[in-house]
Amino acid sequence: MGDGYDLPDTHDGGVRIMHVVPSLEPGGGSGLVLSLIAALRFRIQFSIFVIDAVAKPSGVALARVQQLQQWHVPLLNRFGGHAADFGGAPMRLRRSIQLTRPHLVHLHLEHAELTFALASLFPGTRPAPVHLRTVYRTTPWKGCRILGRWVAARLAGGDAVAVSSAAARADYGLGARQKRDRAEVIPYGVEPSRVARLAGPRSPFRILFAGGMDQRAGADLLPAIFEKAQSRSGRKDVEVTLCGRGPLERRLREQLRLEVREWRFFFVRSIPHLVDRLSQYDAVLMPSRSEGLSLLPIQVLLARVPLIAARAPGLEDVVTSDYRLTAAIDDVDALADCLVTVLGQDLTFVGSALRARVARRFDITTMARSYEARYRTLAARRKGGQG
């Protein structure tokens, strides 16, 4: 394939998959989508429907658009409509399905599930008789579980997989009226960074936080964590990059300026091709509360960069209990101590055994084969039903 995946090129032109994602921004499910397309594009026909508009797409989103164009993957509703346009997005999705006639619609995150469910309300047949959901979150439909149960009932009969065991449990416990099977866990497939961090002290010491500027990602804990770590470590040669956006950004800028004066902070909206830049950092901090499992902690460990993280649901699929740099959710003191440990010692926290275990579990070829088998089984069901 030219991508390093152990899959033969046997595109039969017979299976058409449409991915539905909230956006092409980080955290919108499109990272997994691009990994699947990279691995399977010579074997399966793909298209992507984007739900939400982004007035100023980030560098990551623009890079993803460019990559999809190079692969000749149709990008439907390119930068979406308006986020609150509940009538328009489902209608556009239904129209796109009618035009492209996919054998399977693959839904990513709750917003995609809701849009697809609303599209099924329009007169005529359902937009597609077969759909697959990938469950990411460990707190699905937080704050609107009634709506979540309606969507689950509307999508009853579809298939589902989850990126972590915690996400599968949460999805199963949603409590829809119709009985639903527990989603099978298909772990992320991650291609290791081409550049791993080399051992040895570095100055300045560079820390990365790459998540939403919101409470779910634990962004509100950052000033206290950094203030305690600065005081306890005594190090002044520290640079922190905060990547992302969200409602807490303005407050974070002010708090960090006033409370952590010895360290330098840089706010960036996105970091294109982050996986290949991870070796530039000496630690990655993830104080997440309930985001579920993302690609980042896997990529960080494969790049041999120390990961300091709260033990949010989903993380247990990546690191074992003996990994030294995790703490309980909201435990600011323990997270600060983990950071101090890394600041004060140049140890190989990501040893060969841990890296090898993570690489085996999150092997990209294994993920691609699992999804392809699911795609072909479900597509055959549609073909059998419609001829």
Residues 302-331 pLDDT 10s: 988 999 999 998 888 898 888 889 999 999
The per-residue pLDDT for 291 is: 66
pLDDT on residue 273: 85
**Residue 240 to residues 210, 281, 284: CA-CA distances in angstroms?**
11, 9, 10
Say if residue 90 is preceded by a cis peptide, omega within 30 of 0.
no
What the chain holds in terms of domains, given with CATH numbers, is: 16-189+363-386 (3.40.50.2000), 205-361 (3.40.50.2000)
pLDDT at 3: 52
Under-70 pLDDT residues of the chain:
1-13, 53, 78-87, 124-129, 175-179, 193-200, 291-292, 346-350, 383-387
Residue 1: per-residue pLDDT:
38
> 84: which strand partners?
none
Q: What is the 3-state secondary structure (H, E, C) of the chain?
A: CCCCCCCCCCCCCCCEEEEEECCCCCCCCHHHHHHHHHHHCCCCEEEEEECECCCCCCHHHHHHHHHHHHCCCCEECCCCECCCCCCHHHHHHHHHHHHHCCCEEEEEHHHHHHHHHHHCCCCCCCCCCCEEEEECCCCCCCCCHHHHHHHHHHCCCCEEEECCHHHHHHHHCCCCCCCCCCCEECCCCCCCCCCCCCCCCCCCEEEEEECCCCCCCCHHHHHHHHHHHHHHHCCCCEEEEEECCCCCHHHHHHHHHHHCCCCEEEEECCCCCHHHCHHHCCEEEECCCCCCCCHHHHHHHHCCCCEEEECCCCHHHCCCCCCCCEECCCCHHHHHHHHHHHHHCCCCCCCHHHHHHHHHHCCHHHHHHHHHHHHHHHHHHHHHHHC
pLDDT tens for 76-110 read: 875 554 444 555 889 999 999 988 999 999 999 99
pLDDT at 4: 41
Distance between start and end Cα atoms, the chain = 31
Q: What is the pLDDT of residue 276?
A: 87
Determine the pLDDT at residue 51: 92
Q: Six-digit token pair at 193?
A: 């960074």
Both tokens of 7, joined, read 């899959």
Beta bridge partners of 286: 309
Q: What is this structure's pTM?
A: 0.86
> Which structure tokens are listed for 380?
């055959």
Structural contact between residues 312 and 297, judged by C-beta atoms closer than 8 angstroms: no
Order of strands across the sheet that contains 184-185: 75-76, 45-50, 16-21, 104-108, 131-135, 159-162, 184-185
So what's the pLDDT on residue 268? 94
Q: How far apart are CA 197 and CA 305, in angstroms?
A: 6
How far apart, in whole angstroms, are the C-alpha atoms of residue 360 and residue 364?
9
Quick one: pLDDT at residue 83? Answer: 41
Q: Which residue has the tokens 């793909």?
A: 46
pLDDT of residue 176: 58
